[in-house]
Amino acid sequence: MRLLRLLAIPLALGSLAAALSARQGPSHQQFSVAELFFELNDTDGDLGIHAAIDGGTWTSLEVDGPRDRQLLAIISKGTLRSQGLTQLAFESAEPTFDELDPADFFRRFPEGVYEISAVAQEGGTFESRVRLSHVLAAPPEAAVNGVPAPKATTRRCPRLSARSSSIGIRSPSHTRRSARRARSRSPATSSSWSRAPPS
């Protein structure tokens, strides 16, 4: 009889813990959207880093790069903290290649796994890991009525790997401007980018 009572205690505690856990919801969740990517504007000759984050309600958020290097920290306060946040999108400044060489830009944002984490308003956390790559689609080869357009100044940029994949480029539906940039299909043999003359 005593053995049965001893067995009943852990079972009761386990049931209580499961009930409390179900009531509180999951303590660790992933964001429904977690994107970190580069945007190359070959026409204007600039490069920037962008993010899109969405999910449940949170009160503070961090983005950490490789080796736990913090890139961004947001803490809501007052009534905004009471209301909570659910979505964030940002775009960095995009200095021209003359102002910031692409190699220097990529040193600021090394390839690797970046962690996006937030404190959930109702307790627990949101966390997603995204891989940031320096591999970008090569610039398009422009043609007018099937005739290739004359090439503008061409400059070698070995860090901008020429592949026809769209790794690191956001989906074309984001904005009209990024849609123009992301629609290109270019040959895998291209290893340079062209900059159109200013209009």
Amino acid residing at 134: H
Among 18-22, 73-77, 102-106, 133-137, the range scoring the smallest mean pLDDT is 18-22
Better pLDDT: 80 or 194: 80
Better pLDDT: 176 or 77: 77
Among 5-14, 24-33, 60-69, 186-195, the range scoring the smallest mean pLDDT is 186-195
Give the helix/strand (H/E) hosting 126.
strand 125-132
Rounded to two decimals, the pTM is: 0.60
Better pLDDT: 139 or 195: 139
Is residue 103 pLDDT above 70, yes or no?
yes
- Alpha-carbon distances, residue 62 vs 57, 87, 118, 119, 147 (angstroms): 14, 13, 6, 9, 48
The percent of residues in the chain predicted with pLDDT above 70, rounded, is 62
Using a 10 angstrom Cβ sphere, with 0-12 exposed, 13-18 middle and 19 or more buried, the burial of residue 181 is buried
**Nearest-angstrom CA–CA distance, 166 and 185:** 9
| Residue 134 near residue 168 (C-beta atoms within 8 A) | yes
Q: What is the pLDDT of residue 89?
A: 97
Better pLDDT: 71 or 6: 71
**Nearest-angstrom CA–CA distance, 91 and 95:** 12
Query: Would you call 132 helix, strand, or coil by DSSP?
Result: strand
Q: Count of CB atoms within 10 A of residue 111's CB?
A: 15
Q: Count of CB atoms within 10 A of residue 17's CB?
A: 10
Using a 10 angstrom Cβ sphere, with 0-12 exposed, 13-18 middle and 19 or more buried, the burial of residue 194 is buried
| β partners of residue 176 | none
Q: What is the pLDDT of residue 1?
A: 53
Is residue 187 pLDDT above 50, yes or no?
no
Average pLDDT, rounded, for the chain: 74
Domains of the chain (ranges plus CATH)? 28-195 (2.60.40.10)
- Over residues 46-94, the pLDDT tens digits come to 999 999 999 999 999 999 999 999 999 999 999 999 999 999 999 999 9
